Structure 1
């Protein structure tokens, strides 16, 4: 079978590998879709400290069950499934408190275990142990199901930040995550949602799909001034930084309303994680700043429900479908920002 293996930064190889056999407690699936994201770009360029090469990467996974290993019940050949990416241990203090997204022993598909850039793959016992395999609703195709994982992360971030009825929300970053944030905020009852990006082409492409109340190009205008203008000088109730940008995080503090909230959703580059933050603004305006990291198995289930119900449509966000042999092109397309969501169909 064909796989895409990471060996080192700049070295992802398409190779033939033996078709795997599930061991006890495992499932084998035929991968139907493994969508790509900015994390795949970062891995391809910089690697990751949790990845011991060679490793089959890809973590936004959906497919059909081929075989169940010894001791696995409740699944049959042909069942359509979506697989979590972040795997909590289920045993640490954080997991015992239900805080699975900050599990101190978390593992991940495509990092600790071979991922979805392959024709077939093994779902490890650790995933089944935390109920991390989800049945795909009949009205959801497997390309859409693969987008449940990033939507689950967005759902986690918005739950933490408390997006709700009547909020004015600013989403900074018009990539696929930003698009999902816009749609989920609307589903949660936000009154106004503004989308900000530096890249005019990406902003226009995404805005045409998700139709924010305003699309603000940060290269052409002062985004902070424009948000303040749109809100009558008050600022927005919630700013979501859906971009790996320290400048976006700093600007968020300048455009948020009194008693507002900021979600640092996008992580910063490891070599530039420090920003300037006006602590007095946080203090006197009673601003809340939240982190957001990944998703839990339960978030993945709810994300599939949101897709199935039509509350958060994702089909139109998949603007490129490529074969596994085009994995390098797919990753570079994501890096260039010329597509919203790219999915690999092995």
Structure 2
């Protein structure tokens, strides 16, 4: 079968490899769609300390069961999505119900071969713990593949607790930023503002009908625009949906008093430091949070929002490509000419 195999920084090869042979308790899935994640691009551009050479990448996927060597009642031919985090269930964090923080977790595409391939084998532990979820016939496989990243977004919103009184700024209009803005709308936010330096990206995101689209500028005219849009109060919630240190600093200035600020995107590993104005945090009484990955409850909530079409997942996907064009997808997403790109290892649907 064809698969995207990681060999190191800037070295992902589309190779012919053996189709996985599943063992007892495992399930084999024919991959219909696997979306490109920011982590995939960072792994390609910079490498990844947790991913060994030879690993097949890809973790935002939907596919069809073709073999089942387990007692799980899922049937051959059913389409499924997967909660990819496999926690130990025993450590301090698992006992507290925050399985995304498990000290011994393993994850598809990091510790097990992923879904940028014609077929992917689902480990026995994931099958036994019911990590596979059926997809309704009416939902496109591309849309279903976005359950994983949407679950990560919902993990952040679990602490932000957006309400109908809130005015929300999202810094970054890529696919994750758009998802954050859509979730804020689902939660009833009265004013959602999407900010980005790229006018092209903002133009793409106009299809979602947010309240304000504001271009970030070096002269900080976007600060005035946010203040005008919030009647001079600033935002109740500011979400940094990009891996830019300057955006983290900017967020504190855009937030209003007692604002909640979420640092969703991690910074580059070689430049992890940021400078924050401590007085803004102090005098505005700001609350700053971060988020990482997702819990099972977040993934299940994401499923519900996509399967009931409360989140228009298919509209987030702007391009579909064959697996041979995977690195082209990285370039498209980096340049801002696309939102989400889906890879179809068995041919474009």
Q: Give distance in 1, aligned partners of 2:30 and 2:181.
A: 32
- State how many pairs are aligned: 344
Note the 1:1-346 alignment, pairs <5 A. 1-69=1-69, 71-206=70-205, 208-219=206-217, 222-346=221-345
- 1:219 and 1:205 map into 2 onto residues whose CA distance is 18
CA RMSD of aligned residues (A): 1.4
Tell me the alpha carbon deviations over residues 283-337 of structure 1, each in whole angstroms, 9 at most, x when there is no partner.
2222111111111222222111101222111111111011111112112212222
Provide Cα deviations, 1:23-51, integer angstroms capped at 9, x if missing partner. Answer: 12211100000000221111111111110
Distance of 2:330 and 2:129 partners within structure 1: 30
- CA 285–234 in structure 1, closer or farther in 2 if over 3 Å, else same: same
Q: Specify whether residues 222 and 106 from structure 1 end up closer, same or farther in structure 2 by C-alpha distance, changes over 3 A only.
A: farther
Q: Distance in 2 between matches of 1:224 and 1:103?
A: 39
- Secondary structure in 1 aligned to 2:7? strand
Secondary structure, aligned partner of 1:328: helix
Which whole-Å CA distance do the structure 1 matches of 2:146 and 2:287 have between them? 29
String of CA shifts for 1:253-302, please: whole Å, max 9, x gaps: 01111111001111111111111122232222221111111112222221
- Partners of 1:94 and 1:130 lie apart in 2 by 18
SS in 2 for 1:282: helix
Offset at 1:85?
Answer: 3.1
Q: After TM superposition, which residue ranges in structure 1, 4 or more long, deviate above 6 angstroms?
A: none
> Over residues 168-198 of structure 1, what are the superposed CA-to-partner deviations in whole Å (9 max), with x where a residue is unaligned?
0000000000111111110001000000001
Unaligned runs of 5+ in 2: none
1:342 deviates by: 0.3
| Residues 86 and 337 of structure 1: CA distance in aligned 2, closer, same or farther (over 3 Å) | farther
TM-score (norm: length of structure 1): 0.96
